[in-house]
Amino acid sequence: MTAALLLRLEGFEMVALIAHLVRRLGPGRAEKRLEVLEDGAGALIALEWRGAAVAIADLELWLSEPLDVGQAEVTGRRVLSVHATDLWPERLHEGRHRLCLPLREARRIGPDPHPVPRPVPRQVVYDFDLLGRGGESALAETPLDKLTFVVFDTETTGLFPTGGDEIVQIAAVRIVNGRRVAGEVFDTLVNPGRPIPAASTAVHGITEAMVATAPAIAEVGRRFHKFAEGAVLVAHNAPFDLEFLRRKELLIGKNFDNPVLDTVLLSAVVFGAAEGHSLDALTHRLGITIPEEARHTALGDTVATAEAFLRLLPALKARGLTTFGAVLTEVRKHRRLMRDMNA
């Protein structure tokens, strides 16, 4: 029996992309079939048919066209970019072909998890400004063990900051001298000022009632900016979380221009680009257990990312990558996987 899967995606626009592809395949390609297959820690959406293959040039043209969602800027290529994935054709057998679209995160549907206890956000107690005032050159030469890191994650109403989605939770922890600093935790709900789709609540468990009295992003953003001041930001799939924050910089009155490390790219540096680099795949590889009730919560995923980051640091050092600049040089060799967020 095929397992029921819960996918982390923007359902409306993903369905629009699939419908667009079905239309472009046309009536000449028969026996179309859509499958969602379990694929390691993620899933594979496979659109299969019998008939002529699809040329790469034609597929690229289809992906550049606007989808039928009422916004000209929403193309298939943009949907893939936001989901940090790609689409490619494969030849099967007996005249059958398929388009493959992998998703990084999926999980089997089980009983509803218990809510995660949310600690009261604490004020920053220490000034860990270890980046100094020497500019980019000094940062590049700074040993990793001399830097302060703030590992963070967000939960949102959906996956499209350009389409009106908003943050509903931000969490972060601080790492200094190779250790998480006890008590230095940032965790707060955020009132998004818009409805939270039921599909999103099913993933992260945050309801509209829970955020009704929470502060707005302008206040939370300023507090988080203060918490992260003087630190290197660390996230898993950083382009996603930072896009939400950077689109609010004018409202917040602060710029999120911290140096950035992405554990997706660090995983590629340590384990090779061909391996799976979802958070579930990475933590499993590193022997880290994420409690079911903590998965897909901002704090739970932040703690898991922080633990993964701390275990990646010795592996980087063993490869001779001991400074921020050395790591950044290696990270940029894997831009195909994920956009580097440093200037």
Active site amino acids = 296
Note whether 187 and 119 are within 8 A (CB): yes
Q: How many CB atoms lie within 10 A of CB 232?
A: 22
Q: Considering all CA atoms of the chain, what is the largest pairwise distance in Å, rounded to the nearest integer?
A: 66
For residue 80, CA distances in Å to 47, 174, 217, 290, 334 come to 15, 32, 26, 27, 18
Note whether 85 and 237 are within 8 A (CB): no
Please give the single-letter amino acid code of residue 148. T
Note whether 135 and 211 are within 8 A (CB): no
Q: How far apart are CA 73 and CA 165, in angstroms?
A: 15
Q: How far apart are CA 191 and CA 12, in angstroms?
A: 22
Q: Which helix (H) or strand (E) holds 257?
A: none
Q: How far apart are CA 22 and CA 35, in angstroms?
A: 13
Q: How far apart are CA 90 and CA 189, in angstroms?
A: 43
